């Protein structure tokens, strides 16, 4: 299935990172069920429509890795894959 977000929404695939303790023990993602704060953009909407009718283009693009607010995205599941839906304004930074 192909996802195409509307307006200034983004579809992001979360990036889960294993955590390592000071003693070197690796804790898998299943230990801590906190929402991820990083993800890779898989689909970008066309942008928000301003009050004057013009469309404001998105400042991010597909394939970029981003940092976002922990509790802002909505979770969806499509074809067994988990994705996050968020607005462009909820992105804190682009990871390079």
pLDDT at site 30:
56
pLDDT at site 2:
84
pLDDT at site 36:
63
pLDDT at site 69:
85
**61 in a structural domain:** yes
**1 in a structural domain:** no
Half-sphere exposure in the Cβ direction for 84 (13 Å, CA):
25
| 92 token code pair | 């804190």
Residue for token pair 């968020």: 86
Q: Within a 10 A sphere around the Cβ of 79, how many other Cβ atoms?
A: 7
pLDDT at site 1:
64
The total number of residues shown for the chain amounts to: 96
Tell me the pLDDT of the chain (96 aa) as tens digits: 688 999 999 999 998 766 666 677 766 655 555 566 899 999 999 999 999 999 999 999 999 999 998 888 889 999 888 999 999 999 999 998
Can you say how many angstroms the Cα of residue 46 is from the centroid of all Cα atoms in its chain? 16
| 23 token code pair | 């003693």
Number of compact structural domains in the chain: 1
Half-sphere exposure in the Cβ direction for 95 (13 Å, CA):
11
C-alpha 32/C-alpha 38 separation (Å) is 15
pLDDT at site 28:
63
**52 in a structural domain:** yes
CATH code for position 31: 2.30.33.40
- Boundaries of domain holding 71: 9-95
């Amino acid at each position: 299935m192909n996802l195409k977000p509307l307006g200034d929404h983004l579809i992001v695939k979360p990036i889960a990172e294993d955590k390592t303790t000071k003693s070197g023990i690796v804790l898998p993602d299943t230990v801590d069920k906190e929402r991820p704060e990083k993800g890779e953009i898989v689909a970008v909407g066309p942008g928000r429509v301003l009050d004057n009718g013009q469309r404001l283009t998105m400042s991010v693009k597909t394939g970029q890795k981003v940092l976002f607010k922990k509790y802002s995205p909505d979770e969806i599941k499509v074809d067994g894959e988990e994705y996050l839906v968020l607005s462009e304004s909820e992105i804190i930074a682009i990871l390079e």
